């Protein structure tokens, strides 16, 4: 069973969408954007990406596309909450950025090896 290209609601590519949501929230916080604008940006970018994937001809279910968008939004909410909850530690957004980029690289390279 190929967990990267499955047509289930959630596959391993959903992890990359989650990482992207963490990145959007972290950069939004650093830029001084509020939660609402952060979620707007994350949602907009996620929808644009899914449209691009459809245009490109990626073979995934509509349910998977919806869950990828949802993963981005949930990750953005979670990251923004963590950043504001641990406000006394100013390095939290940077840790989320570094962790997301490392995870993204690992998962992306792993996915490329299976494709």
Q: What is the distance between the alpha carbons of residues 82 and 26, in angstroms, rounded to a whole number?
A: 10
Predicted structure pTM score: 0.85
Q: What is the distance between the alpha carbons of residues 62 and 8, in angstroms, rounded to a whole number?
A: 10
The answer on pLDDT for 113 being more than 60 is no
From 3, 5, 113, select the one nearest 61 (Cα to Cα): 5
Cα angle for residues 19, 20, 24 (degrees, 5° grid): 120
pLDDT, tens digit, for every residue of 33-53? 999 999 999 999 999 999 998
Structure token pair of residue 38: 């952060």
Element (H, E) at 83: helix 62-85
pLDDT, tens digit, for every residue of 97-106? 999 999 888 8
Q: What residues contact 39, with CB distance under 8 A and at least 6 apart?
A: 73, 76, 77
Could you tell me the CA-to-CA distances from 40 to 71, 108, 109 in Å, in that order? 14, 25, 29
Residue 56: per-residue pLDDT: 87
């Amino acid at each position: 069973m190929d967990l990267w290209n499955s047509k289930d609601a959630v596959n391993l590519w959903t992890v990359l969408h989650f990482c992207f949501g963490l990145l959007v929230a972290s950069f939004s916080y650093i830029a001084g954007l509020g939660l609402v604008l952060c979620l707007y940006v994350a949602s907009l970018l996620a929808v644009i990406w899914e449209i691009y994937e459809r245009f490109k001809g990626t073979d995934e279910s509509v349910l998977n596309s919806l869950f990828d968008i949802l993963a981005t939004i949930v990750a953005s909410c979670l990251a923004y909450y963590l950043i504001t909850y641990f406000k006394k530690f100013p390095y939290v957004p940077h840790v989320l950025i570094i962790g997301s980029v490392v995870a993204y690289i690992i998962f992306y390279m792993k996915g490329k090896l299976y494709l």
